[in-house]
Amino acid sequence: MNKPQKSTPAASSKAAPKPSNTAAAGAIPNDDGFLELHYSMLRVRRVEERLLQVFSEGKIPGFIHVSIGQEAVATGVCSCLTPADTIFTTHRGHGHTLAKGMELKPFMAEIYGRANGACHGNSGSMHVASSEAGVGGANGIVGAGLPISLGSAFASAFKGEDSVTAVFFGDGASNQGTFHESMNLAALWNLPLIFVCENNGWAQFTSQKSYMKIDSIARRAEGYGMPGVTVDGDDVLQVREGMRAAVARARAGNGPTLLECKTYRWFGHYAGDPQKYRPANDLEQTRKVDCIANFEKFLIGSGLADRGQLDAVDAGLRAEIDEAIAHAEAAPAAPRGQFLNDVYA
Amino acid sequence: MKETRYIKAINEALHEEMARDETVFIIGEDVGAPGGAFGGTRGLLQAFGERRVRDTPISESAIVGLALGAAMKGLRPVVEIMFADFLPVCMDQIVNQIAKTRFMFGGQFTAPLVIRAPGGAGLNAGPQHSQSLEAWFAHIPGLKVVMPATPADAKGLLKSAIRDDDPVLFLEHKALYATSGAIPEEEYLVPIGKADVRRTGRDVTIVTASRMVYQTLEAAETLAGQGTDAEVIDLRSLTPLDKDAIFKSVEKTSRLVIAHEAVKSFGIGAEIAAMISEEMIDVLDAPIARVGAPFSPVPFSQEGDYLPNASDIVRAVEKVMTY
């Protein structure tokens, strides 16, 4: 797969320093939450790396979908949200969920199917949710979170609150009817909703160019009467900039935005996917773009952090993850028949 | 008591619950100024304004999904889907999302919403506007399914549904909309999950719901003339199912007929028959009989031939009584 073509960056004003090789080597930028962004991205990656490991060891039932390589999207988007804001996510939702602030222990225990998991072990990786952190749930049905997110945004407006909702979905979901219905209704009612299309170029086993005529999903926004913006989803600052503008617009009561973040899927659709459908060299090409490595280069290059500091962050994360894994592994399995406690009819 | 039409009883329930609870809102196609395709939401826009009475595009998945998201945030949406036949258009949102919300999220989120939809035949509306799909939904854990037969039940059950903390599919019968019945003047609720014995009898139990309640009562009168005393149970709710009411009656009569308008195959009659067979076959004096529509889409021009009627029920009971 070729590198997705980049369209105009999100916001034209106040261009943030680029965490890329071309970042201005001159002035040291002010730290605008950069270290938090780094922490959040690295945390998602380390968690998912560990999930892949324990999954391959047979410790997690079912199957998992990781978002490794796409961390800048989760982080950039969620960095603009408060706990009062809500996100809805997808089957590939670990990153979004963690970046939004879900605690690691109930998250991990749920993926392990334990009694003390966030969802009582009823759900696993694909439906992790946290009412506390404003995570209205990952979803196993492609495109199904979109209509639900309308209601969350509607409730904010109905109650006169300035909270906003962000809904993550993939490029594949943009061909579901729910996408089109939801875009239309959100625009029509000026809902405080941000449609975040995490375009990783793959709809499960099928590449974007083989299932849609246009390259940029953001172009579809115009058909519904809302702004559509494409950003480099591997550049956390571009994502954040695009999201900031979208959130400001939504909070001001000016309605929804479609924010398309172009990124790459480093792994298969699911953990263990042999990916025979992927062209030769595609994976290698894909992994040349590493949002975290690029951002670290930027941080070090601009004097905002040194290698030692970043390594210490990494070590801290690994310790936190070890603890969460140990917590999950030590927890009792959901007791026999517990699932019936959550059934009312 | 006052004589009220079924559709007016529904409309009264909506008015009362919206006045009582600020979080209740109405959403659906043509529910605003037009007052709904059948008049169920008439006057609500004038009484409560556009904020709480929302006309939508023709986008059933968006409508129902929106209701779910709003319910997860503490509102109490009442959705109108114009015909029950359109529920399949938004089936994912109902079956995979709404029904599973409390379960899938371990109780962190709930879905206190109501979906009203008229089902049933009788208006020559053809194959895509006449179906009785209740068994599909009763088969899904996580949905309460209600089917009122009378104006009084329509009002009382709808008020209960709106106050329920879990999702309720409220299946009205469009051929009943214009029928009248007595309803209390004062405020009242009808509990979800409780059947009603419409007629007491000692010889045979006939379990039914919605419009077939009337065909069954008619059949019971005919049977009474023949010396057979039928007990008629109106389920009112399919889920939760009032097993106690059915079991108690069958214990008394030892004979069971189930009558419904939906196609007989794989219907609620099959479920109830199986339940009785599994749990109390010893009390039966005769095989269980089912009355339902033939395994065919609802025909436009031959509804009379298609729909099960009082004579079909009489015949089924007569057969059961030969044992």
User: Is A137 inside a domain boundary?
Assistant: yes
Test A127 with B102 for CB contact under 8 angstroms. Answer: no
User: Is A342 inside a domain boundary?
Assistant: no
User: Is A46 inside a domain boundary?
Assistant: yes
Test A137 with B66 for CB contact under 8 angstroms. Answer: no
Instruction: Identify the residue among B27, B75, B97, B105 best suited for mutation to test binding to A, counting A beta carbons within 10 A and taking the highest.
Output: B105
Contacts for A35 with CB less than 8 Å, ≥ 6 apart: A299, A304, A305, A313
A158 to chain B: which residues are within 8 Å by CB? 25, 51, 70, 75
What parts of chain A have a pLDDT lower than 70?
1-30
Instruction: Identify the residue among A158, A167, A169, A184 best suited for mutation to test binding to B, counting B beta carbons within 10 A and taking the highest.
Output: A158
A160 to chain B: which residues are within 8 Å by CB? none
Test B73 with A152 for CB contact under 8 angstroms. Answer: yes
Q: What are the tokens at A332?
A: 């009792």
Of chain A, the percentage scoring pLDDT greater than 70 comes to 91
User: Is A345 inside a domain boundary?
Assistant: no
Residue B78 CB coordination number (10 Å): 29
Q: DSSP character for B97?
A: I
Test B105 with A129 for CB contact under 8 angstroms. Answer: yes
Residue B205: beta bridge partners? B231, B256
Q: How close does chain A come to B263, measured CA to CA in Å?
A: 23
Measure CB to CB from residue A345 to each of B56, B66, B143 and give the nearest one.
B143
Cβ contacts from A onto B, under 8 A = 141
Measure CB to CB from residue A147 to each of B93, B143, B239 and give the nearest one.
B93
Count of the separate structural domains present in chain A: 1
User: Is A5 inside a domain boundary?
Assistant: no
Could you tell me the domains of chain B? Answer: 2-183 (3.40.50.970), 196-321 (3.40.50.920)
User: Is A173 inside a domain boundary?
Assistant: yes
User: Is A211 inside a domain boundary?
Assistant: yes
Predicted pLDDT of residue A338: 86
Which chain A residue shows the shortest CA-CA distance from B169?
A345
Q: Dihedral angle at the C-alpha atoms of B103, B109, B112, B113, nearest 10 degrees? A: -90
C-alpha torsion sign, points A182, A183, A185, A186: positive
Measure CB to CB from residue A136 to each of B72, B144, B240 and give the nearest one.
B72
Residue B91 CB coordination number (10 Å): 16
Test B66 with A185 for CB contact under 8 angstroms. Answer: yes
Predicted pLDDT of residue A282: 87
Here the CATH number for the domain that contains residue A97 is 3.40.50.970
Strands B237-239 and B204-208: unpaired
Q: Taking a contact as any Cβ pair under 8 Å apart, which residues of chain B between 55 and 74 contact chain A? A: 56-57, 59, 61-74
Test B72 with A188 for CB contact under 8 angstroms. Answer: no
pLDDT tens digits for chain B (323 residues)?
A: 999 999 999 999 999 999 999 999 999 999 999 999 999 999 999 999 999 999 999 999 999 999 999 999 999 999 999 999 999 999 999 999 999 999 999 999 999 999 999 999 999 999 999 999 999 999 999 999 999 999 999 999 999 999 999 999 999 999 999 999 999 999 999 999 999 999 999 999 999 999 999 999 999 999 999 999 999 999 999 999 999 999 999 999 999 999 999 999 999 999 999 999 999 999 999 999 999 999 999 999 999 999 999 999 999 999 999 99
Write down the pTM of the prediction.
Answer: 0.94
Which chain A residue shows the shortest CA-CA distance from B107?
A342
Which chain B residue shows the shortest CA-CA distance from A150?
B66
Note down the domain range covering A139: 34-334
Test B144 with A345 for CB contact under 8 angstroms. Answer: yes
Q: Dihedral angle at the C-alpha atoms of B194, B196, B200, B206, nearest 10 degrees? A: -90
User: Is A23 inside a domain boundary?
Assistant: no
Query: Which residues of B are tagged catalytic?
Result: 129
